[in-house]
Structure 1
Amino acid sequence: MIRSTELNQGLTDWWWHWLIGGIGCLIALILARIRYENMLHWHWITYTLVNISLIAVMLIGHSAKGAQRWIGVFGFNVQPSEFAKIGIIITLAALLHKRTASSLDSVFRALAITAVPWGLVFLQPDLATSLVFGAIVLGMLYWANANPGWLILMISPIVAAILFSISWPFAIAFSKDLTFGFLGLVWSIAMGIVGWRTLPWRRFGLGTIGAWGLNMLGGELGLFAWKYLLKDYQKDRLTSFINPNADPLGSAYHQIQSRIAIGAGEWWGWGLFKGPMTQLNFVPEQHTDFIFSAIGEEFGFIGCLLVLLVFCLLCLRLLHVAQTAKDNFGSLLAIGVLSMIVFQMIVNIGMNVGLAPVAGIPLPWMSYGRSAMLTNFIALGVVESVANFRSKQKYWS
């Protein structure tokens, strides 16, 4: 599919994709033969190296499209934030292996450990990868027996920020700098009820007040971030998703062209190397973020379903390994990888079909990206090690 997107441009990214994929496959096979328990003893070193690499990219990294995310190594651009995903999975798995997330202390500890690399990635700025970090943490905390209500409260300030922004025209102004949207206010009250039901601080209603106040604060911080922190291109991606017709030749151009290409494929598609939108390069960044649109145009609805089926089978296997692992560490490793892949798959395909904003998240194994490809194969190798060294089931005597 990558070659199809570059057929008339004379590029060789498709060849590099095969090469890096082969190297990644070899690394995965090697990791599958190494006992995964060894990582348990080195998780702090892994965590330290992750943070050092993220600091290094901010000091000596290369910039592109308003973000500083790459470090040059022997002539190749390496993206440390991609490998940081594996590092945080290993670190959280080691922490939650020792103490499950059944107490708030364990949850706060896991969040504090994640906050450092997350903050470094966010400052690059790389909002998309920081969202992947959040998905990994939520998935692993849930698997480690965290109260679902706590997880809802963790993401509730983000929802509040969105609702405050949506309901801005109906906002209630309490002062010049303090404005509460009606939808955000209702959401905050609902989260106060969740806090009262799930948090242990019921005396004097501290849980309710804390959850309500956190969401009100999240809404105000969301508005502040929109005004002063988010880059212009990040704002354009969000606003173009909500109303793509507002700027069809600008920020919404990518997504509109992607939807047209997928729709043009109908049931069976135009055939490989025959999609008009793909061959005439109407879809920008098609070999990376919008590779799914090339599948939809050239292989149609049936081709898209087959790709989704392959991802679903892979995710089911990851879930099976997590359920049958011999210890919590191995199980959490598999769930961390599962959370990473599922989130990236949903967001990437969602933005290709217009159901999610353009977030710059690649489709695992299919979008071009050398660091992303190696990261995905390393993740599979780690999970395969968990599968290889679990207790074997006997189906006959």
Structure 2
Amino acid sequence: MFKRISLLNNRGFLQKKDNFNRGFLFSPLLIVPLFLVIISGFLIKSIQGDFLVSNYLAHILTGFLGYFLAFFISYIPLERLRKYVVPFYFCTLISLLLIYFFGISVSGAQRWLNLGIFSFQPSEVAKLSSVLTLALVLDKKIIQTIRDLVLPLLVVVIPWLLIFFQPDLGTSLVLIVLTGVMLYWSQMPIEWILILVFCIITSILYLTLPNLLIFWIPAIGYLAYRSSKKKIISSALAISFHLLVAKFTPILWQYGLKEYQKDRLVLFLDPSRDPLGGGYHLIQSKIAIGSGGLFGTGLLQGKLTNLQFIPEQHTDFIFSALGEELGFVGCVIVLFLFFFLIKKLINTATIARTNYESLIVIGIASTFLFQIIINVFMTIGLGPVTGIPLPFMSYGRTSLVTNFISIGFALSILKRSRSLRS
């Protein structure tokens, strides 16, 4: 048992039983996401107005489908699915490759496959398949040397590259974060994780303040030096790795991102520089949220929302509609529900029977948490527009179904951990 997980498990056994014994159909892990889907359904109705063209009904129906799908999955022990994880992972990679040949392009990004009756977004499924596969790899070894990192990173790097060049910056960031959290959960030294995550800072410094790299990269080397037994070799590898990241940063910036994505990353610091272009989303989103005040204008009554001042508000900017129509109180309630859901997932990870199950749930929790934080920050102007959806609330059938499948896995793990303890 991993030390980091086992310590949490010991604490988990002291927790009181909750109402899961009354019936998993009404488990908070299922009810909270369904409630969020219903709230967002009304917000989508308000955004799009006309019943005949609105996606709100499709969103709610997909949510109920996901609800019962998650309940059904909860009866399947994850150990039975282990042998299907690797084939599922490779099928996901194939679907990501097909995007480049048969993908549908929307707003400059080629992310969808047309399956006839509906479109399908492989990058959403890739998040779940990466969690399952990375958990399978980390379950078999504890990360003690640099060599032990090769296979776990390879599992994530391949889908990351395929997703980044679609381009889909948001999902590629999600993969980085869930990898870091899962490596930490598997007892990898925190210094190693920081060295990997700090690649983002290295890239930002190279593009903005390159002279600071003279001090930054040696600091990375020192971090590696103090955290490894082979100090000189580890320090040299860390420095070389970050120099390589700096070298490839302009290439990724030039060829990996579209012009509108570059504008989004730069303009969030000062959206007024281009109020009718790249900064338009951020400015209108902040106006909508601010106009909601304490209690909001009322459900279906938001003026900016009804008049569609914010493009694609039913997807990435659904939180701005929430802020305008339900106000500060509504936002706090929704954020509390998200916090409650993440807390339940983390608790489930701490009482899971096996390392494999614990890693899966913590991977799912980190995926949800990062998307929630970035999406909310994006809509209130504290972060760039990255195209990361708000789980269970942003419109997107592939994302919604995949999220409920993830909940089904977590519920399955929770159910078996409860039955073992009872």
TM-score (norm 2): 0.87
Where relative contact order (Cα < 8 A, 6+ residues apart) is larger, the structure is 2
Which moved further from structure 2: 274-283 or 341-350?
A: 274-283
Q: Match of 1:245?
A: 272
Of 211, 224, 227, which aligns to 1:198? Answer: 227
Write the distance in 1 (CA, Å) between the matches of 2:152 and 2:142. 10
Q: CA deviation at 1:393?
A: 7.0
Write the distance in 1 (CA, Å) between the matches of 2:283 and 2:51. 22
Write the distance in 2 (CA, Å) between the matches of 1:20 and 1:305. 25
Q: Match of 1:174?
A: none
Q: Deviations over 1:166-219 (max 9, x none)?
A: 22xxxxxxxxxxxxx2223222121111011113332xx333233233323322
Matched residue type, 1:61: G
Which moved further from structure 2: 213-222 or 35-44?
A: 213-222
Does residue 141 in structure 1 map to residue 183 in structure 2? yes
Q: CA deviation at 1:245?
A: 1.3
Of 85, 104, 110, which aligns to 2:127? Answer: 85
TM-score (norm 1): 0.92
CA contact (8 A) 2:46 2:306 kept: yes
Matched residue type, 1:144: S
Matched residue type, 1:307: V
Does residue 359 in structure 1 map to residue 401 in structure 2? no
CA contact (8 A) 1:4 1:278 kept: yes
3-state DSSP class of the match of 1:248? coil
Write the distance in 2 (CA, Å) between the matches of 1:200 and 1:31. 44
> What RMSD over aligned residues (CA atoms) do the two structures have, in Å?
1.6
Matched residue type, 1:277: L
Matched residue type, 2:230: W
Does residue 74 in structure 1 map to residue 107 in structure 2? no
**CA 229–56 in structure 1, closer or farther in 2 if over 3 Å, else same:** closer
CA contact (8 A) 1:162 1:219 kept: no
CA contact (8 A) 1:78 1:371 kept: yes
Q: Match of 2:197?
A: 155
CA contact (8 A) 2:44 2:54 kept: no
**CA 348–14 in structure 1, closer or farther in 2 if over 3 Å, else same:** same
In the alignment, structure 2 segments of 5+ residues that lack a partner are 1-42
Write the distance in 1 (CA, Å) between the matches of 2:112 and 2:154. 25
3-state DSSP class of the match of 1:62? strand
Write the distance in 2 (CA, Å) between the matches of 1:274 and 1:66. 32
CA contact (8 A) 1:61 1:70 kept: yes
Matched residue type, 1:63: S
CA contact (8 A) 1:259 1:353 kept: yes
Q: How does 1:117-196 map to 2 (within 5 A)?
A: 117-167=159-209, 181-196=210-225
Q: Match of 1:338?
A: 365
In the alignment, structure 1 segments of 5+ residues that lack a partner are 168-180
CA contact (8 A) 1:69 1:81 kept: yes
Write the distance in 1 (CA, Å) between the matches of 2:144 and 2:362. 17
Which moved further from structure 2: 276-285 or 144-153?
A: 276-285
Which moved further from structure 2: 302-311 or 265-274?
A: 265-274
Write the distance in 2 (CA, Å) between the matches of 1:196 and 1:394. 43
CA contact (8 A) 2:164 2:256 kept: no
Q: Deviations over 1:133-171 (max 9, x none)?
A: 11111111111111110011112222111012222xxxx
Figure out how many residues of one structure are paired with residues of the other and give that number.
380
Write the distance in 2 (CA, Å) between the matches of 1:215 and 1:84. 26
Write the distance in 2 (CA, Å) between the matches of 1:119 and 1:104. 21
CA contact (8 A) 2:45 2:51 kept: no
Q: CA deviation at 1:102?
A: 3.8
Of 274, 293, 318, which aligns to 1:291? Answer: 318
Of 301, 324, 347, which aligns to 1:274? Answer: 301
Does residue 11 in structure 1 map to residue 53 in structure 2? yes
Q: Match of 2:410?
A: 383
